[in-house]
Amino acid sequence: MSNVVAAHGLYYHQYADDTQLYMSGRPRSATDPFRTLSLCVDDVCRWFLQNRLLLNPSETEAVLFGTRIQRDKVPTSGGIDVAGTLVPFRDIVKLFDVTLDSAVSMDRHVTEVVRSCNYHIRALRHIRPLLTPEVAKMLAHSTVRSRLDYANALLSGTTSGNLDRLQVGQNSLARVVCQASRSASATELRASSTGCLFDS
């Protein structure tokens, strides 16, 4: 399949049974700037059929990344033709549990992470009195810290507001694990959480 994609001058990434095709370029005034991508998808579908595989258009998503001004220059109302099915462009797609918005601001991803973390922090708060410090720490790492750390390299360059939202979640987790009061200052919380939640 890599030869099929390379013949069209496009790029691809595969993981297990998931394949992403992508291309980059500057906005053009062409009536169909995605014709090359559509032709490539047609050839990939043909290759799939020849090798007794099937591409599922209903599970296919398309997104256009760029600044708002750049995206406005590209006609996306028609979507992309994938095996005879019109796939509309989305503002948000999810790849391997990372939510990417078309502006790559990571705002929506941070919102999803914070929502998930808050759910688990509330659950941990209810059972914290019944847990030893070590068990509480283990649960905190496995249910919340793992979510905060997952793919965090993608947050490089995000807004300070997004980083602050994640820090608030981490502080809340430390309060629960260390059984610190909600009125504890950030300095007190860092001091108490050093040996309680974090090993470093």
Q: Looking at per-residue confidence, does 176 or 78 come out higher? A: 176
Taking residues 187-193, report their average pLDDT: 56
Domain range summary for the chain, segments of one domain joined by +: 2-90, 106-193
Span 108-146, pLDDT tens digits: 999 999 999 999 999 999 999 999 999 999 999 999 999
Tens digit of each residue's pLDDT (9 = 90 or more) over 38-80 = 888 889 989 989 999 888 878 888 888 988 888 888 877 778 8
**What pLDDT, on the 0 to 100 scale, is given for residue 29?**
53
pLDDT at 200 over 50: no
Distance CA 23, CA 5 (A): 11
Q: Residue 18 pLDDT more than 70?
A: yes
102-106 mean pLDDT: 90
Q: What is the 3-state secondary structure (H, E, C) of the chain?
A: CHHHHHHCCCEEEEECCEEEEECCCCCCCCCCCCHHHHHHHHHHHHHHHHCCCCCCHHHCCEECCCCHHHHHCCCCCCCEEECCEEECEECEEEECCEEEECCCCCHHHHHHHHHHHHHHHHHHHHHHHHCCHHHHHHHHHHHHHHHHHCCHHHHCCCCHHHHHHHHHHHHHHHHHHHCCCCCCCHHHHHHHHCCCCCCC
For residue 142, give the amino acid letter. Answer: S
Taking the CA atoms of residue 136, residue 142, residue 143 and residue 144 in that order, the dihedral angle to the nearest 10 degrees is: 90
Measured distance CA(154)–CA(98) in Å, rounded:
9
Instruction: Write down the pLDDT at residue 186.
Output: 58
- Pick from 174, 199, 177: nearest CA to 187: 174
Query: pTM of this prediction?
Result: 0.77
